[in-house]
């Protein structure tokens, strides 16, 4: 069990989480979800006539998180291997005698804990998706504002060809939007778990399937056609969506951090402009430094995500009807993934919302290449006359010299087909942007359509 404090309260955890998301992951929130599951189970049983309505109402009234101590339950959990057993014992003791026999009817500990984790995930997804919306909106504003801001594209770490900052931001936008769509779909499909001891619902008699359906409905979770005690696809879908979110945020953060390098200087985090305070990004040793803190922290979260996703996937191979250890291995990695995803989404929104873009530096860095990054454009103009291979070789020979334009003008093979005006046209970066503007427009149109549609 986690400590009873919020996941954001520790010296390190506040660097990776978000208060709004973490509030749904704290021990008190998990306890509330466990009790919500117990109350819903009793209500569903009453709906289907397998327990008295009065007993269900008494159980529901007692399923209040403030009546129980998460830390004490955590200490007692070791004897049973999970916190549901001591919780059921304490809940039963707190009830009037006539209702005690009906607590936890037809369920096993895994039913309640799996269902509670699905509730926690669904509740944490609310603020998490809101942060993703803010991040995507910020990326869209950058893409629109810089649709035609020319800059260097970089491939394999090297200067490659011209692109636009608008297209780069549109790439961030689409990655974040895709992550949001996946997570929203997974949230809508998060299932309740009810199977009883071995997945047969035997303790509920013929009403078992009906109770399971009512149980899910009371909680606002999806109904599963079968118990999923050792069929862990719902959890894997959630893990994959959270891992994809961290990857999309991490890619954005990595780009921002690289653009913010002093020798590049094409973008910078907003610092005080984001409301984070004037000292944000400062160094304990070097007074001149302003580190891209959000980029760094999002990148750290993205690097932790794959290990957690791998743990959940490794734990998914479970034996027979109930697992020994694999199920237990899932709980904390899942909560950690939600914690990291919440923090990454919030920090990405802040990072992009306050990003300062230096269009002049982008153009200066592009021009500093002396036209070399337009070598492909020059070769394309020569290809009809020389063939693709020969055109490539001629331009490569000119690119090896200190002055690319002068070398082109001096080369007889080039001069035979291109004059100074054609060479200058080929060396104009705006002439070699392809469909960049149209791609930005497409991404923005998709984003507007999504934001205008139903949540």
Distance in angstroms (rounded) separating the CA atoms of residues 182 and 369? 41
What does the block give as tokens for 193? Answer: 């778990």
* Contact assessment for residue 124 and residue 340, using Cβ atoms and an 8 Å cutoff: no
Distance between alpha carbon 36 and the CA centroid of its chain, in Å?
Answer: 27
* Contact assessment for residue 162 and residue 143, using Cβ atoms and an 8 Å cutoff: no
Distance between alpha carbon 429 and the CA centroid of its chain, in Å?
Answer: 35
Distance between alpha carbon 255 and the CA centroid of its chain, in Å?
Answer: 16
Distance in angstroms (rounded) separating the CA atoms of residues 379 and 408? 11
Neighbours of 98 (CB within 10 A): 11
Neighbours of 364 (CB within 10 A): 12
Q: Which residues contact 319 (CB under 8 A, 6 or more apart)?
A: 230, 326
DSSP run (H or E) holding 151: strand 150-155
What does the block give as tokens for 179? Answer: 């992550």
Residue 446's alpha-carbon distances to 49, 178, 450, in angstroms, are 49, 11, 6
* Contact assessment for residue 204 and residue 105, using Cβ atoms and an 8 Å cutoff: yes
For the chain, helix, strand, coil in percent to 5 are: 65, 5, 30
Distance in angstroms (rounded) separating the CA atoms of residues 39 and 203? 18
Phi then psi for residue 192, to 5 deg, are -70, 160
β-bridge partners, 222? 191
Distance in angstroms (rounded) separating the CA atoms of residues 140 and 173? 6
Q: Which three-class secondary structure state does DSSP give residue 320?
A: coil
Q: How far apart are the first and last CA of the chain?
A: 34
Look at strands 356-357 and 267-268 and give their pairing. antiparallel
Find the largest Cα–Cα distance for the chain: 102
Provide the annotated active-site residues.
Answer: 283, 322
């Amino acid at each position: 069990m986690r400590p009873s404090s919020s996941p954001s309260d520790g010296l390190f955890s506040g660097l990776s989480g978000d208060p709004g998301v973490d509030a749904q992951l704290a021990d008190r929130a998990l306890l509330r979800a466990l009790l919500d599951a117990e109350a819903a189970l009793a209500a569903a049983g009453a709906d289907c006539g397998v327990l008295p309505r009065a007993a269900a109402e008494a159980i529901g009234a007692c399923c209040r998180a403030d009546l129980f101590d998460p830390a004490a339950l955590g200490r007692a959990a070791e004897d049973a291997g999970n916190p549901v057993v001591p919780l059921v014992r304490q809940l039963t003791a707190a009830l009037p005698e006539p209702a005690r026999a009906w607590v936890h009817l037809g369920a096993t500990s895994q039913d309640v804990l799996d269902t509670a984790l699905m509730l926690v995930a669904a509740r944490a997804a609310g603020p998490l998706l809101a942060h993703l919306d803010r991040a995507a909106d910020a990326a869209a504003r950058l893409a629109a504002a810089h649709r035609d801001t020319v800059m260097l594209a970089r491939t394999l770490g090297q200067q490659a060809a011209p692109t636009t900052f608008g297209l780069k931001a549109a790439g961030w936008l689409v990655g974040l939007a895709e992550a949001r769509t996946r997570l929203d779909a997974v949230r809508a499909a998060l299932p309740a778990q009810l199977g009883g001891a071995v997945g047969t619902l035997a303790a509920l008699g013929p009403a078992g399937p009906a109770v399971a359906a009512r149980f899910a409905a009371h909680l606002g979770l999806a109904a599963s056609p079968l118990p999923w005690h050792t069929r862990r696809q719902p959890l894997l879908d959630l893990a994959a969506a959270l891992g994809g979110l961290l990857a999309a945020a991490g890619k954005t953060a990595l780009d921002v951090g690289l653009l913010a390098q002093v020798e590049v200087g094409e973008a910078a985090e907003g610092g005080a402009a984001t409301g984070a305070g004037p000292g944000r990004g400062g160094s304990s040793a070097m007074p001149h430094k302003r580190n891209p803190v959000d980029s760094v922290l999002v990148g750290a979260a993205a690097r932790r995500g794959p290990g957690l996703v791998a743990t959940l996937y490794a734990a998914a191979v479970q034996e027979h009807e109930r697992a020994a250890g694999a199920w237990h291995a899932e709980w904390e990695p899942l909560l950690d993934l939600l914690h990291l995803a919440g923090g990454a989404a919030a920090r990405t929104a802040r990072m992009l919302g306050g990003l300062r873009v230096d269009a002049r530096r982008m153009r200066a860095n592009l021009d500093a290449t002396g036209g070399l990054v337009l070598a492909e454009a020059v070769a394309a103009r020569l290809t009809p006359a020389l063939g693709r291979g020969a055109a490539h070789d001629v331009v490569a020979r000119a690119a090896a010299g200190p002055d690319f334009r002068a070398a082109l003008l001096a080369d007889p093979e080039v001069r035979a087909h291109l004059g100074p005006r054609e060479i200058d046209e080929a060396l104009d970066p705006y002439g070699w942007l392809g469909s960049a503007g149209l791609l930005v427009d497409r991404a923005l149109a998709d984003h507007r359509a999504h934001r205008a549609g139903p949540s």
